């Protein structure tokens, strides 16, 4: 943090859950913020064995000996625990919960939320993925005051960033966390000194995000090839994209681990979804272009090159993905 910011010892509560939020918390600790408590989602069951998994934010807070709170909801007990921390300021990043009025009104300096989009665009839970899904060329991050709505509060500051053609959800999230840290460390001292005038969002330009779920990775080959590639970028690494291949009487689910885009169609005609040899590559016909299969993972098996899979299943070429 800049020299003049090091004297800020406000009692600060952090709320967040994801890897994106963890990066923010790590920066706050590194810059000597007085974090008196961390709120994160309850541990969740993951994998086939349904083992309990801690959020990235909880793991980091535990390492730093910061008290951790994981309420299922903000009932009277949770609100009481929160108020007992006597926070001057709350910083929220990808927490995944709306905060009730009793929490929003408790800290004297309010609740600041870091939202990785150029609000009012992409309000909601998955702004990074949705920007990629729609093929946006730029996005950004917003520091805003939370209210009881879904990302509807007044804006304190914003910065823009370009989305490169090679960006996916993982790389763009990393870039936006770095940008958000920079903007937050610049914004908090100005806000504390009341040198920022909050500005209302223009609700007429608001757009809402869809929540990303596992089944969103299903590829529809009747879509434009660019849209399919955008879906791959948006859903990498989770939940990933997939398609189904009929092998005789059985149907195999194939996770498409690595693909690329060829916008030019080959000279020969192929059906939509048809798998064909394209030089040394394996392509799948889509609308207005071809998806090149590079690495795939048959369900229950290890990741392999598409060519190795084809060598093991000679009937793969010429068949149809669905």
pLDDT of 291-319, one tens digit each? 999 999 999 999 999 999 999 999 999 99
Ramachandran quadrant class, 197 (left: phi over 0; alpha: psi -120 to 50; beta: rest) = beta
Q: Can you tell me which residue has the tokens 């779920």? A: 213
CB of 14 closer than 8 Å to CB of 111: no
pLDDT for the residue 51: 80
Q: What is the mean pLDDT of residues 157-180?
A: 98
Exposed / middle / buried, residue 119 (Cβ in 10 Å: 0-12, 13-18, 19+)? buried
pLDDT for the residue 8: 57
Alpha carbon of residue 209 to chain centroid: 11
Cα(85)–Cα(262) distance, rounded to whole angstroms?
A: 55
Q: What is the mean pLDDT of residues 169-183?
A: 98
pTM over 0.85: yes
The residue that leads in pLDDT, 282 or 249, is 282
Q: What percent of the chain has pLDDT over 70?
A: 97
Please name the residue ranges forming H helices in the chain: 19-30, 56-63, 76-84, 101-104, 127-133, 169-192, 225-234, 306-312
The residue that leads in pLDDT, 249 or 140, is 140
Question: Which of these, 287, 303, 302, lies nearest to 229 by C-alpha position?
Answer: 287
Q: Residues 37-47: pLDDT tens digits?
A: 999 999 987 76
Tokens of 294: 């590079």
pLDDT band at 240 (very low <50, low <70, confident <90, very high): very high
Please say whether the structural domain 214-316 has been given the CATH code 3.30.70.2080.
no
Q: Which helix (H) or strand (E) holds 42?
A: none
Residues 6+ apart with CB under 8 A from 242: 217, 218, 219, 253, 254, 255, 256
**What is the rounded average pLDDT for all residues in the chain?**
94
Cα(11)–Cα(135) distance, rounded to whole angstroms?
A: 41
Q: Which CATH number fits domain 3-205: 1.10.3720.10, 3.40.50.170, 3.90.700.10, 3.40.50.2300?
A: 3.40.50.170
CB of 198 closer than 8 Å to CB of 145: yes
39-48, 125-134, 225-234: least confidently modelled range: 39-48
Q: What percent of the chain has pLDDT over 90?
A: 90
Q: What is the mean pLDDT of residues 64-76?
A: 96
Residue 5, pLDDT above cutoff 60 = no
Q: How many CB atoms lie within 10 A of CB 278?
A: 17
The domain spans of the chain are 3-205, 214-316
Q: Residues 130-141: pLDDT tens digits?
A: 999 999 999 999
């Amino acid at each position: 943090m800049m020299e003049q910011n090091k004297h800020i010892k406000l009692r600060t509560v952090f709320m967040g859950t994801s890897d994106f939020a963890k990066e923010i918390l790590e920066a706050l600790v590194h810059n000597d913020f007085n974090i008196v408590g961390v709120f994160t989602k309850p541990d969740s069951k993951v994998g086939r064995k349904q083992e309990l998994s801690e959020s990235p934010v909880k793991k980091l807070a535990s390492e730093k000996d910061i008290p951790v709170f994981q309420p299922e909801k903000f009932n009277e007990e949770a609100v009481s625990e929160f108020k007992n921390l006597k926070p001057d300021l709350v910083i929220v990043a990808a927490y995944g919960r709306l905060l009730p009025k009793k929490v929003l009104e408790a800290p004297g300096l309010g609740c600041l939320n870091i939202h990785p989009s150029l609000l009012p665009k992409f309000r909601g839970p998955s702004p990074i993925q949705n920007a990629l899904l729609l093929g946006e060329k730029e996005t950004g991050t917003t520091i805003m005051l939370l209210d009881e709505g879904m990302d509807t509060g007044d804006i304190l500051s914003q910065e823009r960033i370009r989305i490169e053609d090679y960006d996916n959800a993982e790389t763009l999230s990393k870039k936006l966390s770095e940008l958000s840290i920079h903007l937050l460390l610049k914004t908090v001292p100005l806000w504390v000194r009341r040198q920022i005038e909050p500005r209302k969002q223009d609700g007429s330009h608001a757009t809402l995000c869809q929540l990303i779920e596992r089944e969103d990775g299903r590829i529809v080959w009747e879509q434009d090839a660019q849209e399919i590639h955008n879906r791959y970028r948006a859903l990498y690494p989770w939940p990933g994209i997939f398609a189904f291949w009929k092998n005789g009487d059985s149907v195999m689910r194939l996770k498409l681990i690595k693909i690329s885009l060829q916008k030019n169609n080959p000279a020969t005609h192929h059906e939509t979804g048809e798998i064909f040899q394209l030089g040394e590559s394996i392509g799948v016909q889509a609308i207005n272009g071809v998806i090149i299969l590079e690495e795939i993972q048959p369900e229950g098996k290890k990741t392999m090159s598409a060519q190795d899979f084809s060598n093991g299943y000679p009937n793969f070429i010429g068949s149809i993905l669905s």
